[in-house]
Amino acid sequence: MIYKYVFGQPIETQAVVMEVPKSEHELSVMKVEVQEDAIRLSCQMGDEDVVFGLGEQVRGMNKRGFSYISNATDDPRHTENKHSLYGAHNFLILNRAEKTKDESGNRTFGIFVDDPGTVIFDVGETRMEDLVITAGADCVIYVIEGESLKDIVKQFRKLIGRSYIAPKWAFGYQQSRWSYMTEDEVREVVDGHRKNGIPLDAVYLDIDYMERYKDFTVNQETFPNFKEFTSEMKEQSIHLVPIIDAGVKIEEGYPVYEEGIRENYFCKDEDGEDFVAAVWPGKVHFPDVLNSKARAWFGEKYRFLMEQGIDGFWNDMNEPAIFYSEKNLKKVLEELEGMKGKNLDLNAFFHMTDLVAKLSNNPLDYQSFYHDMDGVRIRHDRVHNLYGFNMTRAASEAFDQIEPEKRTLLFSRSSYIGMHRYGGIWTGDNNAWWGQLLLSIQQMPALNMCGILYTGSDIGGFGSDTTEDLLMRWLEFAMFTPLMRNHAAMGTRHQEVYQFEHMDVFRNLIRMRYGLLPYIYSEYMKAVLNDEMYFRPLAFDYPEDEQAYRVEDQLLVGESIMIAPVYTQNAKGRYVYLPEDMLMVRMKSLEERVCEVVERGHYYMDMALDEVVIFVRKNYMLPLAVLDEDVRSTSDVNEDQLEWIGYTEDVAEYVLYNDDGTSRKYTPESEWEKIRLTKEEFDF
Binding site for ligand GLC (CB under 6 A): 178, 206-207, 243, 316, 413, 428-429, 487
Compute the least distance from the CB of residue 396 to ligand GLC, in Å.
20
Compute the least distance from the CB of residue 243 to ligand GLC, in Å.
6
HSE-CB at 624 with a 13 A cutoff on CA atoms is 24
Compute the least distance from the CB of residue 248 to ligand GLC, in Å.
15
Which residue lies nearer to ligand GLC by CB, 214 or 574?
214
Q: Is residue 267 a contact partner of residue 369, using CB atoms and an 8 Å limit?
A: yes
Which residue lies nearer to ligand GLC by CB, 463 or 537?
463
Residue 456 φ/ψ, nearest 5 degrees: 180, 170
CA distance 92 to 302: 35
Which residue lies nearer to ligand GLC by CB, 71 or 589?
71
Which residue lies nearer to ligand GLC by CB, 56 or 429?
429
Which residue lies nearer to ligand GLC by CB, 178 or 433?
178
Compute the least distance from the CB of residue 244 to ligand GLC, in Å.
10
Which residue lies nearer to ligand GLC by CB, 280 or 615?
280
Bridge partner residues of 653 (DSSP): 676
- Largest CA-CA distance found in the chain, in angstroms, rounded: 85
Name the nearest CA neighbour of 93 among 132, 130, 144, 24.
Answer: 144
Compute the least distance from the CB of residue 279 to ligand GLC, in Å.
9
Q: How far from each other are the two terminal CA atoms of the chain, in whole angstroms?
A: 43
Amino acid present at 207: I
Compute the least distance from the CB of residue 413 to ligand GLC, in Å.
6
Which residue lies nearer to ligand GLC by CB, 5 or 178?
178
Which residue lies nearer to ligand GLC by CB, 243 or 395?
243
HSE-CB at 49 with a 13 A cutoff on CA atoms is 27
E strands, 487-572, are: 535-536, 555-557, 561-563
Could you give the strand order of the β-sheet that contains 282-285, starting from the edge strand earlier in sequence?
248-249, 282-285, 277-279, 324-325
Residue 662 φ/ψ, nearest 5 degrees: -125, -35
From residue 78, give the alpha-carbon distance in Å to each of 82, 389, 430, 436, 552.
Answer: 7, 21, 6, 8, 18
Which residue lies nearer to ligand GLC by CB, 3 or 86?
86
Compute the least distance from the CB of residue 419 to ligand GLC, in Å.
16
Compute the least distance from the CB of residue 567 to ligand GLC, in Å.
22
Name the nearest CA neighbour of 117 among 135, 132, 133.
Answer: 135
Compute the least distance from the CB of residue 55 to ligand GLC, in Å.
17
- Nearest residue to ligand GLC, by Cβ distance, number only: 178
Compute the least distance from the CB of residue 217 to ligand GLC, in Å.
15
User: What letters, b where the CB count within 10 A reaches 16 and e where it falls short, cover 576-598?
Assistant: bbbbbebbbbbbbbbeebebeee
Which residue lies nearer to ligand GLC by CB, 167 or 461?
461
Which residue lies nearer to ligand GLC by CB, 132 or 478?
478
Q: Is residue 519 a contact partner of residue 622, using CB atoms and an 8 Å limit?
A: yes
Compute the least distance from the CB of residue 327 to ligand GLC, in Å.
24
Helix axis angle, 468-478 to 503-529, nearest 10°: 30
From residue 179, give the alpha-carbon distance in Å to each of 34, 208, 276, 304, 315.
Answer: 50, 6, 27, 22, 17
Compute the least distance from the CB of residue 423 to ligand GLC, in Å.
15
CA distance 174 to 239: 9
Which residue lies nearer to ligand GLC by CB, 380 or 413?
413
Per residue, the 3-state secondary structure of 48-89, as one string, reads: CCEEEECCCCCCCCCCCCEEEEECCCCCCCCCCCCCCCCEEC
Which residue lies nearer to ligand GLC by CB, 413 or 420?
413
Query: Strand, coil or helix: what is 111?
Result: strand
Q: Is residue 371 a contact partner of residue 265, using CB atoms and an 8 Å limit?
A: no
Amino acid present at 409: L
Neighbour-count burial of 360, counting CB atoms closer than 10 A to its CB (0-12 exposed, 13-18 middle, 19+ buried):
middle
Compute the least distance from the CB of residue 457 to ligand GLC, in Å.
11
